[in-house]
Each structure stands twice: as C-alpha cells, then as structure tokens.
C-alpha cells in the first residue's frame, strides 16, 4: 500500500506525527559514526550485490544519459527494509547499464542517524555525499540544506525533455517548491498532495452490522454513527477512536472547516489571512469542542489517549468502526488483516459545508538533491536523471507503492483501488496555500525559531487536555494566542522581519489554489 514519506517506517514524531526539524548534534568523527552504525558495509558498488530487478534491463531514457563518468557517492534513508532492497537492486541495475559510473550508496536506518551523518559530513568538508535524499524528519529538507549551503542548483541539467516527464508546475519557478531564487535544486518523486492527505478509515463490516451503508460525510453524521455503534456495541465494538499519540492528525477536521494555519497542525498556529496567532480561529474551537463532546459522551474507544499502533489492531479485529489517520496506515491495516473490508473516505466536514483545505506537503517535493561538494556533477546528474525517470518511478510505485507526482508513471498499468481512492481524496481536499518563504526567505528561519520559543505546553498537549478534561476551549485558546503574540513581538526585532506581513495574505481563499506572485 502507499508509502508515507518523511522518515523511517513507523517513525512518529514527538509532536504527534508532524514533520519536525530536529537540531543536529555533534558527536564522533564521520568515520567513527558510520562504522558504529554498520553503514559503510552497506555500500552499493561492492562485490556480491543482488541482481537487478526487471526494470534493470530497461534502456536509459534520461536527458543526461552518456555524459559524465566516474564515482558517485549516494546517501539515502529508505522507507523500510523492502525499500532498501528495492533501491539496491535499482542502483545495481543502473550500474550494469552504465558501467562507466560507479555508485557508492549508503543506507541509513533512522532519521536521527541520517541527520547526524549529514551534519558530520558537511561540517568537516570530507566524505560528503554527491547526491542525497531529502528528509524533513532528519532536518534535511530542501530549504534547510540550502540555508546551510549543502546543495547546489541543478538548473543547468534540467532540459525540456526532463521537465516534460512531470506536471507543468513542478519545474515552474513561480509555483514550485523546488526553486529558490529562480534556481532548481532537486528532483521530485512522491506526490506532495498525496503525502498531505488524512483520511477516514472505516470497517465496512462494522458499519453495515450497525445499519450504515456508507461512511459519514458530515460532523453530525460522524457523531451519530459513532455514538450508535458504541452504544449498541456493548463494550465489544466502539464507533470511533482518536490516536492520542498522534492527535494533530484529527485536526484535518479543522483544515476542512476553515483556513488551515501555518505551518503544521502540531506547531504554533499562525493565520495566513491575518499573520496573527490562530488557536482562537473559530474552526479550531469548533473542532475541539466537537471532540470534547464525543469524549464526554464516552463515544471513543477507552484508552485512546495513549493509543498508537493499537488502532490497527482494534480496526483489524473488528472492534472499531472508524478513525482518522495518515497515508501510511493503509499499508499497516492491510498487513494487520488482509481480509479486512477496509473503506477509505474523505474526512467529514461541518454540516454547513467545507470551508477549508489541506496544504500539499511541499517539504517532500525535493526528494533527490545534488551536494554542494559534488565531485563530478555530470556523473551525479546521470544518477539523478535515472531517479527522475518514468521507468524508475513506475517501478517504485509498482513494487513499493510510492505514489509518484509523475502522471506518466500510471500510463498503461493497472492501479490498485487504494491508490485510486487516495489520489481522488487528495484531489478533493488538497489545495495550494500561500507560502511565506516565497514572500520573504527570512520567514523560514523566523518560524523555525518560533517553534522553539513558543509557549509550552505545545498545541497537541493543550488540545488533548481540553478534550479529556472538558476545560473551556475558548479560554485556553485565547491564553495561548496571547502568549504566542508576546513571543512573536519579542522575536521580530532580531529576525530581519519588520512585521508579520510575510505571513499575511488577505486575498487567500482556502477553497482554491493560491497563485502567489
């Protein structure tokens, strides 16, 4: 089933599953660090590699085929063990077809190890990779590494032929997150709209057993259906649950009820309409009060406050009717019970209708990048060109269910029902949002510092307390916004920003794609 980008498989951040930039720490020398992790032994290009998979015999179709030769040092963090095997086979196949290029690949098993290894490599200026994968959970997102001087532009290599593989906006300097100062810096792979989706997962058999032929489409339907299943389930079946350890996921309800705040649902909320703290936004209040009422009525499965993987077990065992979850849960649920009649639906919206959307996960668009310390740019581009090919990304979809941003990947092949449904939901609920970084690049550092300086407890902890203790949501939100405003006022004078205008877009309609000047 579809893969979730952003870290090693199953990795959930301390802030409820959102992508969080973690500070990179100093430690042992680069060689000591890599040896300690057993990573040097994982290099592709050494004897004894596995045979290439079926795509390995496909002729190269790249815009850079035949140019540049030599050794390319390649670092990546796979989505899991199967993905590591897949990438090894693909790289081995590339080298068989291109014997004048040797790829020395390092595979890092965790976001922390990957982030630390990158920091050690670039700080010392030796042993840095020539190309590497972006990974926000490791602090290796495109804008972050550009700020650190770790990457170089690839504009000179991006031909019209290469651009034509992707949707028009991907290599459009005005609209793509791959560009900084009109220079292209990365090759994409996964679809940022798909990566942004949060969905309603439901057990078809459970809903039908309690008299429901389809999932809820509105908040009132969700509450009514979940209440009936819990009430009539007699303690054996519950209508709904929240995932307490990943509570921000449920804020997709707010995202569709009003304007989604900048930047992540787990982080300090800033309104992109006003540039002001936004926990008091009416749709936030309404969402938390809805969940507060459902918890008070004992609708949710008991113990949800500490749930993580338990939600898979309960759903797979037929003890749960529905829940809101992220993309990668599709694979987890299918694994937990291959016979599960799993339904996937868009999150319910207020009875008055949808008034918001989710922003695409643009942080994952920069998937493959070229190092600022690249030794042989032409040879490195040949590898990037391969990773950005239709052949490679089609194989990644068919074998790893990594949903590509490249429409040509799906031409002439059978697409599974889950992928079709996920792409449909993404097209319904994801829209382009304003981007403060495009207005003023200093906004990125300002917000990164604000995440550190913002009031504690962090928003998810406040939401959890309000839901479970029945406290006054409006008072809680107003107090938080006041403290966040004070933190902003204190930080602005030294930030290079004169005010919050970089975060203010009065003309934004959350229901449509925003076209930023």
Is it the case that residue 443 has pLDDT exceeding 90?
yes
Q: Catalogue the E-assigned strands of 22-115.
A: 70-76, 101-107
Cα dist. 95→52, 92, 458 in Å? 10, 5, 48
In this prediction, residue 517 carries a pLDDT of: 82
In this prediction, residue 41 carries a pLDDT of: 37
Domains plus CATH for the chain?
30-194+362-429 (3.40.190.10), 198-357+433-517 (3.40.190.10)
pLDDT in tens, 88-105: 999 999 999 999 999 999
Region 188-207: what's the mean pLDDT? 98
In this prediction, residue 40 carries a pLDDT of: 38
Pairing outcome for strands 368-370 and 198-203:
unpaired
pLDDT in tens, 357-397: 999 999 999 999 999 999 999 999 999 999 999 999 999 99
Region 12-27: what's the mean pLDDT? 31
pLDDT in tens, 140-195: 999 999 999 999 999 999 999 999 999 999 999 999 999 999 999 999 999 999 99
Region 67-93: what's the mean pLDDT? 94
Give the closest residue to 510 by CA, choosing from 234, 278, 248, 230.
278
Per-residue confidence band for 259, with pLDDT thresholds at 50, 70 and 90: very high
Give the closest residue to 361 by CA, choosing from 163, 120, 198.
198
In this prediction, residue 194 carries a pLDDT of: 98
In this prediction, residue 127 carries a pLDDT of: 87
In this prediction, residue 125 carries a pLDDT of: 64
Is it the case that residue 2 has pLDDT exceeding 60?
no
Give the C-alpha separation, 340 to 315, whole Å: 9
Q: What are phi and psi of 500, to 5 degrees?
A: -100, 25
Region 437-456: what's the mean pLDDT? 97
Region 396-401: what's the mean pLDDT? 96
Instruction: Enumerate the β-bridge partners of residue 358.
Output: 430
DSSP 3-state of 307: coil
Low-confidence winner among 33-37, 115-119, 174-178 (lowest mean pLDDT): 33-37
In this prediction, residue 188 carries a pLDDT of: 99
- 111 contact partners, CB below 8 Å, separation of at least 6: 7, 8, 11, 22, 77, 135, 137, 138
Region 306-319: what's the mean pLDDT? 96
Give the C-alpha separation, 313 to 176, whole Å: 39
Is it the case that residue 252 has pLDDT exceeding 70?
yes
Q: Which residues of 310-320 are buried (b: 16+ CB within 10 A; e: fewer)?
A: bbbebbbebbb
Region 5-19: what's the mean pLDDT? 34
In this prediction, residue 469 carries a pLDDT of: 97
In this prediction, residue 264 carries a pLDDT of: 87
Considering only residues 329 and 14, tell me which one the structure prediction assigns the higher pLDDT: 329
Structure tokens at 487: 């933190």
Is it the case that residue 35 has pLDDT exceeding 70?
no
pLDDT in tens, 289-306: 999 999 999 999 999 999
Q: pTM of the predicted model, to two decimals?
A: 0.87
Is it the case that residue 58 has pLDDT exceeding 60?
no
pLDDT in tens, 485-511: 999 999 999 999 999 999 999 999 999
Pairing outcome for strands 368-370 and 186-187:
antiparallel
Is it the case that residue 317 has pLDDT exceeding 90?
yes
Per-residue confidence band for 5, with pLDDT thresholds at 50, 70 and 90: low
């Amino acid at each position: 089933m579809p893969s979730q980008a952003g870290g090693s498989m199953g990795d959930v951040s301390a802030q409820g599953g959102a992508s969080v930039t973690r500070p990179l720490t100093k430690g042992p020398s680069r060689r000591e660090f890599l040896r300690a992790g057993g990573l040097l032994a994982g290099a592709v290009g050494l004897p004894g590699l596995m045979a290439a998979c079926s795509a390995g015999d496909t002729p190269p179709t790249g815009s850079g085929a035949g140019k540049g030769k030599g050794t390319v040092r390649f670092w990546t963090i796979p989505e899991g063990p199967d993905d590591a095997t897949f990438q090894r086979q693909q790289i081995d196949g590339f080298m068989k077809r291109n014997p004048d290029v040797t790829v020395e690949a390092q595979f890092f098993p965790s976001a922390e190890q990957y982030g630390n290894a990158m920091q050690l490599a670039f700080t010392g200026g030796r042993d840095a990779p020539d190309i590497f994968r972006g990974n926000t959970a490791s602090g290796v997102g495109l804008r972050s590494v550009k700020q650190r001087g770790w990457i170089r532009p690839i504009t000179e290599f991006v031909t019209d032929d290469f651009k034509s593989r992707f949707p028009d906006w991907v290599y459009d300097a005005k609209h793509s997150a791959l560009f900084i100062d009109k220079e292209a810096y990365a090759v994409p792979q996964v679809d940022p709209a798909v990566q942004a989706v949060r969905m309603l997962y439901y057990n078809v058999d459970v809903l039908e057993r309690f008299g429901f032929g389809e999932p809820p489409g509105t908040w009132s339907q969700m509450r009514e259906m979940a209440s009936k299943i819990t009430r009539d389930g007699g303690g054996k079946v519950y209508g709904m649950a929240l995932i307490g350890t990943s509570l921000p996921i449920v804020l997709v309800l707010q995202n569709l009820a009003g304007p989604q705040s900048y930047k992540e649902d787990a982080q300090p909320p800033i309104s992109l309409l006003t540039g002001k703290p936004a926990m008091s936004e009416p749709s936030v209040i309404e969402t938390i009060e809805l969940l507060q009422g459902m918890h008070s009525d004992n609708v949710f499965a008991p113990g949800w406050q500490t749930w993580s993987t338990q939600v898979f077990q309960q759903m797979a065992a037929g003890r749960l009717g529905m829940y809101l979850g992220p993309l990668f849960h599709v694979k987890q649920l299918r694994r937990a019970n291959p016979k599960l009649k799993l339904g996937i639906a868009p999150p319910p919206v207020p009875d008055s209708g949808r008034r918001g959307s989710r922003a695409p996960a643009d942080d994952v668009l920069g998937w493959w990048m070229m190092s600022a310390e690249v030794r042989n740019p032409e040879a490195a581009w040949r590898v990037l060109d391969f990773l950005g090919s239709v052949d490679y990304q089609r194989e990644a979809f068919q074998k790893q269910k990594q949903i590509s941003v490249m429409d040509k990947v799906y031409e002439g092949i059978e697409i599974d029902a889950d992928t079709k449904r996920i792409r449909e939901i993404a097209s319904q609920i994801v829209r382009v949002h304003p981007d403060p970084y495009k207005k003023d690049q200093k906004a990125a550092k300002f917000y990164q510092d604000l995440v550190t300086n913002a009031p504690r407890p962090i928003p998810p902890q406040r939401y959890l307390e309000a839901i479970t203790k029945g406290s006054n949501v409006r008072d809680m939100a107003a107090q938080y916004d006041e403290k966040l405003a004070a933190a902003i006022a204190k930080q602005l004078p030294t930030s290079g920003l004169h005010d919050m205008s970089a975060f203010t877009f009065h003309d934004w309609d959350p229901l449509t794609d925003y076209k930023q000047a």
